[in-house]
Chain A
Amino acid sequence: MKANRYIFWGMAKSTFIHIFLMSVALTCLFPIFWMVRCAFMTNDTVFVDQSIIPHHLNFGNFALAWTKGNFAVYFVNSVIYTVCVVTGIVLISSLAAYSFSRLKFPGKNIIFYLFVAAMMIPLPGSFVALFVLMTKLHLINTRFGYILCMINVGLSMSILLFKTFFDKMPHELEDAARIDGCGKIGIWWNMAMPFARPAIAVIVIFNSLNVWNEYILATLLLGDSQLMPLQRGLVVFQGANSTDYPVLMAGLTMAAVPIIIVYLFMQKHIVKGLSGEVIG
């Protein structure tokens, strides 16, 4: 009898948790579903057809978004920016975090806290300074200038995350590597980086998302439309007073696919990375 009650409450608890999680998942997935749904509609039906599945499917929006939004150029640009920025952030922030965690040098803590404090400055607050700096360096309207600025944007958070992992790395591992002949760079590459794999996954995901969806800084620093990222293509469908919703949704759907793929590849590391759990 007692066992039955135990099983009943266990099932009830499990059912409740599943219903709760499913409703949370639904609230996350519904906007994505709605985006894809609207991508198959027309301007005539998007405000009128309230059905879950549109009565008439229009596949032309994707082709229109690709050509009218000049996605071919912007897509390649976004891939270049995302790969370069994320690689730069991972390399620079891991080296910096390793230094803050393992090396002793004057002003270490002050410099680290300055980096952390930089997270508190909202990006728009530094727009003018960045623009003036890039202009003076003749890096305005160049891919390199934009990549440098975006690396700068992602550094603080990544350094903090990496340092959390490196602080937990056993000193014995480092000693063993040193006995095996590794220098500082060797320890960083062969010991610290594999140790911080969950952190790398989180940093890659967060920064990929950030770079892929970034537009304001690109608008500020880039003038030539041929250098613009993917988000520039989406702006074409949003007029000051009117928006071409179906084509915009088709464009958003296409823009979301690569970042979803990156997330799926990295998802198993995400929880470990966010909780600071290290590889056992």
Chain B
Amino acid sequence: MRNLGIICFSLILIVLAGCSQPPKPSNKIILWHWMTDRNDTFQKLAQEYQQQTGVEVNIQLFAPSDAYSQKVIAAAQANVLPDIYGVLDKKSIVADFIKAGLVTDLTGAMDADGGQWKNSLFDKALADKSFEAGNIYGVTPGIYGVPIDVTNEQMLYNKRLLAKAGIKTPPQTFDEFVRDAQALKRVGITPFVSGWGELWLLDCFASNYAFNIMGEDKIFATFRGQVKYTDPDWIKVFSIFAQLRDKGVFIDGIVTKGNKYAEQDFALERAAFAFNGSWCVNVYHDMNPNLDYGVIPPPPISTAYPLKIWGSAGSSFVVNGQSPNKDKAIAFLKWLTAQDQQVVLARETNNLPSNKQALVDVSPILKDFAKGMDQSTHPNIWPLNEDPSVSEAFDKGIQDIIIGDKTPLQVAQEVQQAKDLQRSRGSI
């Protein structure tokens, strides 16, 4: 009984001692991240930074990203976030973190020295981490995140397989792409693979062509409900998939394929073209280091408007708004995104650097991917987005077209019905 009393008393003491002291400034900053494949490089760079500045950077890895997100949310509630961390969630959640004072506004630091830091980074990546004036989240306008790398989604082609089919240059137009696909089929090569079991990737491909066919004003007008999905331009977008299906361009089971499996197919030369993100450089290198491939934007189907690809910040960090070491944390991120460090990161991890100047010293395939950043866009930087239930009807409708269950007109009507339903409920 006496022991039990001692244990209870000790527990009470511990609880009473639970009122934490506010953190004090120190010469050590803590960074939480989730990027397993970049951990060794981060550790190496942190050591280098300590040698240069005397500031210790404690890099802590928590993976996978789901577990990391849980930890960040829990730490935010307990008010024990580290000096530097990432918010792996949609923009509305980032906005919540900002409004809670857990994220530092970096605009001042970015604009210092004539905007040297800001100008060194890809505009699209910074736009993804910024909140514009009058944003729907009610966040004070500014730049709140630092992109460590950027990504974009484009078309990959296998040079060896194309040569086998007698194709000397990759297609520049959609018609050429269909023609090349027929040539590949004639020699027994599957023309195209993508992980369209993952709706976002299918949405990305469809949206590229929507920009090309009708331009962004009409797309946003559709989101606002001013243009219907039964408009001939939208039916033209849906018809692309019917045409590719009829020509036998797709690999079998494309609508149920996860992107990891699609990546395997392309890396192991089971298909000549793939639609994938720039991270694939790393994946293909691991699976087949000898793969000889190139990258092009999806071949445009129209000359009416420029084809836009999705591209934005890849991984990014924010600085804890309540950190006593804010300045040191910002200084480290500035150093990490400087040219030399970005070259090291790009070389060792095969990701696209967020610093434009670092492109001079990266692999040719990454350079080609980077060219696409000029014509990139992303839902995160659009002035408005489609309702999720309408987007789902849109993407699943395209899957139905690919498997031959529905016609483009049927899908257009169903998507419009989903849109009308949401509007009648007042959610749009």
A contacts, CB < 8 Å to B? 43-44, 47-48, 124, 127-128, 130-132, 135-140, 215-216, 219-220, 223, 225, 235-242, 244
Residues of A within 8 A of B75 (CB): 131
B14 touches which of A137, A239, A241 (Cβ 8 Å): A137
Whether the Cβ atoms of B15 and A128 lie closer than 8 Å is no
A240 touches which of B37, B267, B288 (Cβ 8 Å): B37
Residues of B within 8 A of A216 (CB): 66-67, 70
Q: Tell me whether A43 and B286 are in contact in the complex, defined as CB-CB below 8 angstroms, given that A135-B78, A136-B18, A137-B18 are known contacts.
A: yes
Q: Tell me whether A219 and B36 are in contact in the complex, defined as CB-CB below 8 angstroms, given that A132-B78, A242-B282, A244-B286 are known contacts.
A: no
CA A236 – CA B66 in complex, angstroms?
15
* B18-46 contact mask (Cβ, 8 Å, vs A): 1 or 0: 10100000000000001111010000000
Whether the Cβ atoms of B71 and A219 lie closer than 8 Å is yes
Whether the Cβ atoms of B77 and A132 lie closer than 8 Å is yes
CA A220 – CA B72 in complex, angstroms?
9
Residues of A within 8 A of B15 (CB): 136-137
Q: Tell me whether A235 and B286 are in contact in the complex, defined as CB-CB below 8 angstroms, given that A128-B74, A132-B77, A220-B71 are known contacts.
A: no
Interface centre among A137, A235, A240 (most CB of B within 10 A): A240
Q: Tell me whether A240 and B65 are in contact in the complex, defined as CB-CB below 8 angstroms, given that A219-B71, A220-B74 are known contacts.
A: yes
- When C-beta atoms are compared, the residue in chain B nearest to A135 turns out to be B78
A147 to chain B, nearest CB (A): 15
Residues of A within 8 A of B78 (CB): 131-132, 135-136
* B38-64 contact mask (Cβ, 8 Å, vs A): 1 or 0: 010000000000000000000011111
Q: What are 14 A-B contacts with C-beta separation under 8 Å?
A: A48-B268, A124-B70, A216-B67, A219-B62, A219-B68, A219-B70, A220-B74, A235-B63, A236-B39, A238-B64, A239-B36, A240-B35, A240-B64, A242-B282
Interface centre among B62, B80, B280 (most CB of A within 10 A): B62
B contacts, CB < 8 Å to A? 14-15, 17-18, 20, 34-37, 39, 60-68, 70-71, 73-75, 77-78, 80, 264, 267-268, 279-280, 282-283, 286-289
CA A79 – CA B415 in complex, angstroms?
55
CA A136 – CA B286 in complex, angstroms?
44
Whether the Cβ atoms of B77 and A47 lie closer than 8 Å is no
- When C-beta atoms are compared, the residue in chain B nearest to A241 turns out to be B279
Interface centre among B18, B267, B268 (most CB of A within 10 A): B18
CA A244 – CA B40 in complex, angstroms?
15
Residues of A within 8 A of B63 (CB): 219, 235, 238, 240
Whether the Cβ atoms of A136 and B20 lie closer than 8 Å is yes
Beyond contacts A215-B67, A219-B68, A240-B37: 10 other A-B pairs, Cβ-Cβ < 8 A, are: A131-B75, A135-B20, A219-B70, A220-B71, A220-B74, A225-B61, A239-B282, A240-B36, A241-B283, A242-B286
Whether the Cβ atoms of A138 and B14 lie closer than 8 Å is yes
Residues of A within 8 A of B71 (CB): 131, 219-220
Whether the Cβ atoms of B77 and A131 lie closer than 8 Å is yes
A280 to chain B, nearest CB (A): 36
Residues of B within 8 A of A131 (CB): 71, 74-75, 77-78
CA A43 – CA B286 in complex, angstroms?
7
A167 to chain B, nearest CB (A): 26
Q: Tell me whether A235 and B68 are in contact in the complex, defined as CB-CB below 8 angstroms, given that A137-B15, A223-B60 are known contacts.
A: no
Residues of A within 8 A of B288 (CB): 44
Residues of B within 8 A of A137 (CB): 14-15, 18
Whether the Cβ atoms of B70 and A127 lie closer than 8 Å is yes
- When C-beta atoms are compared, the residue in chain B nearest to A223 turns out to be B60
B127 to chain A, nearest CB (A): 23
Whether the Cβ atoms of B37 and A242 lie closer than 8 Å is yes
Residues of B within 8 A of A44 (CB): 288-289
Q: Which 8 A-B pairs have the closest CB atoms?
A: A239-B37, A131-B74, A136-B18, A135-B78, A219-B67, A241-B279, A242-B283, A132-B78
Residues of A within 8 A of B74 (CB): 127-128, 130-132, 220
Whether the Cβ atoms of B286 and A225 lie closer than 8 Å is no
CA A44 – CA B289 in complex, angstroms?
8
- When C-beta atoms are compared, the residue in chain B nearest to A132 turns out to be B78
Residues of B within 8 A of A135 (CB): 20, 78, 80
Whether the Cβ atoms of B70 and A140 lie closer than 8 Å is no
A140 to chain B, nearest CB (A): 7
CA A238 – CA B61 in complex, angstroms?
13
Residues of A within 8 A of B289 (CB): 44
B315 to chain A, nearest CB (A): 8
- When C-beta atoms are compared, the residue in chain A nearest to B264 turns out to be A47
Residues of B within 8 A of A140 (CB): 80
B143 to chain A, nearest CB (A): 24
CA A128 – CA B60 in complex, angstroms?
19
